[in-house]
Amino acid sequence: MKKKIAVYPGTFDPVTNGHIDIVQRSCELFDSVSVIVAKNPSKSPLFTTDERLFFLRESLKHFENVDVNSFDGLIVDQAHSINATVIIRGMRAMSDFEYEFQMALMNRKLAEDITTVFLVPNEKYTYLNSSIIRHLAAFGSDVSEFVPKVVKDALREKYLKNKGM
């Protein structure tokens, strides 16, 4: 039987508990999940690619069927390179739908053999996104219930350093 391999791409700047929830759900559906840190030229991330890879690896190390990598290019090309047949996308709210729908259609046009699957996180994470986390952390808010400890500590250090404290 052919192994069912999925990729879950994102910028993960930083990884949140909502992302981890999507990974957990993906692991229940697929034999192997490859979490991909995408290098998006239209974004200026707070954390480097290496930092984001480290946060993900630390946060996901308890999942046996997950690997974490980065990729610079089209996600369908990365999926093909590891024999994945599914792209996982998290859908928090209807506001995500239009963009995600367009991306899914384009990916299907580029690679008919790859299917996009939308997963909805636990409702306690539907309002979470990395931008909100960065904003809260920049103002010194406690983000510990929204992100793994390794991320909380890195955000605190980054923003304290930027404030010269």
Catalytic residues: 19, 43, 92, 130
Residues 6+ apart with CB under 8 A from 15: 52, 55, 56, 59, 130, 147, 148, 151
Calpha distance 77→126 (Å, rounded) = 29
